[in-house]
Amino acid sequence: MEYKKGAENILAGMNQARFYLVSACRYLASLGIFDFPVFAVATQGFKGRLLCAWSIPPDSENHKADGGISAMYDGVYMADTNCPEWDITDPSQAVKFAMFLISLKNNYVPELLKKFKEVEEDIKAELAKMDDKVAGAGERFKWAVTHQRKEGVLKSLVDLLAESEKAEQKSKKRRVDSEVEVPPPP
């Protein structure tokens, strides 16, 4: 649920909700759960708009062999136009929204648990490999930016930036030292 204060445009809340949806889809993909809907409600004042997204699995073994996050899924599809919208100041729409939430709880949650049970053994096996420090184990769980900062291209960029900043600081220090006039000894 993403709420933006009344003065803001509902699109600001929808954009943030889209980020949440992509993140949730990437998380489910890291667990091996695909083609499963994830929902978000973007609200402004008393109005809420439903968005939905799902990830699809990689299309081939060659794609999986690439490794990394791109090997986990082919992409995220999002339904974010012509979305259901509720105004909870209208009693009938408030009831419809409540019915939707109850339907999610009764239908969606059990289905998600069923999907998780299907991949649970694979997840446990992958986690066991990580505990045994097997090379390359757990790559699919490294979907967050915090992981990407520690490894791969992003780490290289961060290291390069740090080196550049150090070199710039040394250069500034040299300039300051050269600008300071030292009186000759008596």
**Are 123 and 141 within 8 A, CB to CB?**
no
User: Could you give the 3-state DSSP secondary structure of residue 142?
Assistant: coil
98 lies in the same domain as 153: no
124 lies in the same domain as 92: yes
Residue 185 lies in a domain: no
Residue 88 lies in a domain: yes
14 lies in the same domain as 71: yes
128 lies in the same domain as 170: no
96 lies in the same domain as 69: yes
Q: Is the pLDDT assigned to residue 63 strictly greater than 90?
A: no
77 lies in the same domain as 158: no
pLDDT at position 62 is 46
Q: Is the pLDDT assigned to residue 11 strictly greater than 90?
A: no
Residue 184 lies in a domain: no
pLDDT at position 143 is 59
65 lies in the same domain as 94: yes
**In the predicted model, what is the mean pLDDT of residues 10-16?**
79
96 lies in the same domain as 171: no
**Are 147 and 69 within 8 A, CB to CB?**
no
Q: Is the pLDDT assigned to residue 70 strictly greater than 70?
A: no
Residue 6 lies in a domain: yes
143-159 confidence digits (pLDDT tens): 566 666 666 656 666 67
98-146 confidence digits (pLDDT tens): 999 999 999 999 999 999 999 999 888 888 877 766 666 666 676 566 6
**In the predicted model, what is the mean pLDDT of residues 56-83?**
68
Residue 145: CA atoms inside 13 Å, Cβ hemisphere, count? 2
19-61 confidence digits (pLDDT tens): 899 889 988 888 889 999 999 998 888 888 899 999 988 775 5
Residue 186 lies in a domain: no
Total number of domains in the chain: 2
* Residues forming beta bridges with residue 86, ordered by sequence position: 48
* Residues forming beta bridges with residue 38, ordered by sequence position: 53
46 lies in the same domain as 109: yes
pLDDT at position 30 is 83
Range of the domain at 161: 144-179
149 lies in the same domain as 125: no
